[in-house]
Structure 1
Amino acid sequence: MFHTTTDSSCNHCAPRRSFLTGLLTATAATVLPSCATTSKDAPLPAVAKRALVDVHHHVWAPASLKELEARKLAEPPARNWSLNKTMDDMAKAGVTYTLTSPTTPAAGFGDVATMRSMARISNEYGAQLARDYPNQFGFFATLPMLDVDGALAEIAYSCDVLKANGIAMLTSYNGKWLGDKAFAPIMDEINRRKLIVYTHPSNTQCCQNLQEGVPGSTIEFATDTTRTITSLLFSGTATRCKDIKFIFSHAGGTMPFLVERLVMLPKLNANFGKILPSDQVLPTLRSFYYDTAQASHPGALLSLLNLVDVSQVVFGTDFPYRTSLDHVKGLMAMGFSMNDLTAIESRNALRILGRA
């Protein structure tokens, strides 16, 4: 049932197939609405009340939100967000540590001065939260990616002075994905520092307002994640920057579904084959990390877990666009073993952060 372009000699394919076979059975109630056993308002099972680590949680500095509102870029979740709401959401789901970041457009709009200002404001705010609540908050630093000098300066300041836990990037900036040669100096510096790069999708210029009433987050976000993964693979960035720990949002977007096409691409394009041979595509994809935000359900997780081990999956919520409790319940319904559930909810993230 679960066929991928894996090598039959792969050491961890057999355990994954066994896991998925059991998982498919365990998730029958989730897949078939008539068999659902957990209502939206049902109490959280006691077994899930543990110390979760959320790598995908959005906050907005007041000055940043003011700028977004002035430019009519602030969505309702941003305008209605507050620190009290974040802490209440964490408490309800048992999230004890959260890595904060702004979401699109982050520091990806305006002139150079605006981009630098938005990055600095966001990073100072994230750092202040981490200082005020050191046991509850860390943060991923935002960069003015379209300004290379500014981005390099912000990496140094955020990491050396503010003590950021890593870097937050959008999947694209003005039609450029993360493997674009324009970003190479930034990626090389991040690789030198061996940092985490958490990525959040954006609605790229080519694909805005394609269907009336359908926001970019519905379709284009997942697709843009796949575009940036493809860009990193076939630009040579992923191979060159092996010390970056990439985290991709939303279970990798559409990538797990399209993985066979990515494996075939170097065979179709000889230039890509010289950069990343076909037999290196899967190992590279399996070296990345993927979060559960908006993806704590069988449609996303079964596809992702047919590609990567549980060790590469981290807990994310996308608050305030979704609640932490939504994701805890979704993961509980998947039928994971306690060991695998704990790995996803906290252990994998703590390992990446160097805290395990």
Structure 2
Amino acid sequence: MAQRFHPQDGCNQCTPRRGFLTGLLAAGAAAVLPSCATSSKDAPLPSVAKRSLVDVHHHVWAPAFLKELETRKLAEPPARNWSLNKTLDDMAQAGVTYSITSPTTPAASFGDAATMRAMARVSNEYGAQLARDYPSQFGFFATLPMLDVDGALAEIAYSVDVLKANGIAMLTSYDGKWLGDKAFAPIMDEINRRKLVVYTHPSNPKCCGNLQEGVPGSTIEFATDTTRTITSLLFSGTATRCKDIKFIFSHAGGTMPFLVERLTMLPKLNANFGKILPSDQVLPTLRSFYYDTAQASHPGALLSLLNLVDVSQVVFGTDFPYRTSLDHVKGLMAMGFSMNDLTAIESRNAQRLLGRA
């Protein structure tokens, strides 16, 4: 059974849990949490400048990849305004000493097969070059042309064996297919054979674009698409079959922690799903995954996630340049973690996951 997070642990002056949650809803996290920012058994938290964090969710754009996005009118302002100097400055301000880079949506999922292969390759070559130029500061997750299975398998081999990628980066869905879809089974099986880390980033699903005028997909659909792909992995049998893949889900698992009871009920409501993953195996499977803090370093997301999984399954992510690293450091420091748990989230869990411990 996973250990549950209690913000008041080790802090004798903190409100009891029921009162804490009531107060949180009534007064907001800023008024409730900072007073318990350290455990009475721990030394004071180090200043931001002295921290040493590992960021698993940090975006960069290869020049050739960005040029193709701009040509197709797919480049967002953060991509057009990004630079390596901005990345390095952001890391330094927050005490991030190592970032695993990846592009974000649409990744290598547009154009014909040749274009997708080319975009994956230039992105991976760029990530690898950053890692060679700054070996103590950067690693990278390799991007795949997921809609081209042969191309994806070739890119896994090249990126892992030649470029020495830290793992694989995937979107949560491609052309209306989530990661448990049978079309992706050969890719998942190869990644499982190699026992790789798979970091996932949400995308705008094919089903749900422009549902509300003026509301971008990142506001609602990203978090929901993460839940869709987790559900797909569970009830396609992929998560059970590919137990050696170490999945990271962005943004504290999207809406999954809020919908977890519905997921545990699904095998009881649908006998076919129950044959694939019995109800009593849903929670253990979810607790075996990792979840990052990108745009989720606040009580609304973390209290729900940490009531489901152990602190050991949470890794630090920033979503730079869509948010700053400092935003997330401050958010985590305000949560009331003990020094041991804070260090686990900020660096130790990722180091263990990536084999850098």
Aligned partners of 2:54 and 2:97 also within 8 Å: yes
**Change beyond 3 A, Cα 1:30–1:291:** farther
- 1:355 deviation in Å? 1.3
**Change beyond 3 A, Cα 1:286–1:38:** closer
Q: Residue by residue, what CA displacement relative to the aligned partner does 1:271-295 show, whole Å, maximum 9, x if unpaired?
A: 0000000000000000000000000
Distance, in Å, in 2 between the alignment partners of 1:280 and 1:223 is 22
Q: Percent identity?
A: 91
**Change beyond 3 A, Cα 1:24–1:130:** farther
Runs of 4+ in 1 over 2 A off after TM superposition: 7-45
Q: Residue by residue, what CA displacement relative to the aligned partner does 1:107-152 show, whole Å, maximum 9, x if unpaired?
A: 0111000000000000000000000000000000000000000000
- Provide the aligned C-alpha RMSD in A: 5.4
Distance, in Å, in 2 between the alignment partners of 1:253 and 1:340 is 22
**Change beyond 3 A, Cα 1:244–1:30:** farther
**Change beyond 3 A, Cα 1:114–1:88:** same
In structure 2, what is the equivalent of residue 98 of structure 1?
99
- 1:259 deviation in Å? 0.1
**Change beyond 3 A, Cα 1:323–1:352:** same
Aligned partners of 1:30 and 1:334 also within 8 Å: no
Aligned partners of 2:252 and 2:293 also within 8 Å: yes
Q: Residue by residue, what CA displacement relative to the aligned partner does 1:20-60 show, whole Å, maximum 9, x if unpaired?
A: 99999998435699999999999997167311000000000
Distance, in Å, in 1 between the alignment partners of 2:182 and 2:158 is 23
Aligned partners of 2:37 and 2:335 also within 8 Å: no
Distance, in Å, in 2 between the alignment partners of 1:355 and 1:19 is 37
Q: Paired residues, what number?
A: 352
Aligned partners of 1:236 and 1:275 also within 8 Å: yes
**Change beyond 3 A, Cα 1:159–1:231:** same
Distance, in Å, in 1 between the alignment partners of 2:108 and 2:289 is 24
SS in 2 for 1:44: coil
Distance, in Å, in 2 between the alignment partners of 1:11 and 1:260 is 32
Distance, in Å, in 1 between the alignment partners of 2:338 and 2:41 is 22
Aligned partners of 2:38 and 2:338 also within 8 Å: no
In structure 2, what is the equivalent of residue 65 of structure 1?
66
**Change beyond 3 A, Cα 1:209–1:91:** same
Q: Residue by residue, what CA displacement relative to the aligned partner does 1:237-277 show, whole Å, maximum 9, x if unpaired?
A: 00000000000000000000000000000000000000000
Aligned partners of 1:201 and 1:249 also within 8 Å: yes
Q: Residue by residue, what CA displacement relative to the aligned partner does 1:71-129 show, whole Å, maximum 9, x if unpaired?
A: 00000000000000000000000000000000000001110000000000000000000
Aligned partners of 1:30 and 1:298 also within 8 Å: no
TM-score normalised according to structure 1 size: 0.90
Aligned partners of 1:56 and 1:316 also within 8 Å: yes
**Change beyond 3 A, Cα 1:205–1:41:** farther
Distance, in Å, in 1 between the alignment partners of 2:13 and 2:259 is 21
- 1:193 deviation in Å? 0.2
Where structure 2 has 5 or more consecutive residues not aligned to the other structure, the ranges are none
- 1:179 deviation in Å? 0.1
- 1:10 deviation in Å? 25
- 1:19 deviation in Å? 12
- 1:206 deviation in Å? 0.6
**Change beyond 3 A, Cα 1:34–1:246:** closer
In structure 2, what is the equivalent of residue 47 of structure 1?
48
Aligned partners of 2:38 and 2:44 also within 8 Å: no
**Change beyond 3 A, Cα 1:303–1:271:** same
Where structure 1 has 5 or more consecutive residues not aligned to the other structure, the ranges are none
SS in 2 for 1:319: coil
Aligned partners of 2:109 and 2:147 also within 8 Å: yes
Distance, in Å, in 2 between the alignment partners of 1:13 and 1:238 is 39
Q: Residue by residue, what CA displacement relative to the aligned partner does 1:177-207 show, whole Å, maximum 9, x if unpaired?
A: 0000000000000000000000000001110
Aligned partners of 2:120 and 2:145 also within 8 Å: yes
Distance, in Å, in 2 between the alignment partners of 1:62 and 1:292 is 28
Distance, in Å, in 1 between the alignment partners of 2:13 and 2:246 is 21
Distance, in Å, in 1 between the alignment partners of 2:184 and 2:14 is 35
Aligned partners of 1:30 and 1:333 also within 8 Å: no
Distance, in Å, in 1 between the alignment partners of 2:14 and 2:111 is 47
**Change beyond 3 A, Cα 1:17–1:33:** closer
**Change beyond 3 A, Cα 1:47–1:132:** closer
Describe how 1:323-342 pairs up with structure 2 within 5 A.
323-342=324-343
Distance, in Å, in 2 between the alignment partners of 1:191 and 1:9 is 40
Distance, in Å, in 1 between the alignment partners of 2:265 and 2:143 is 34
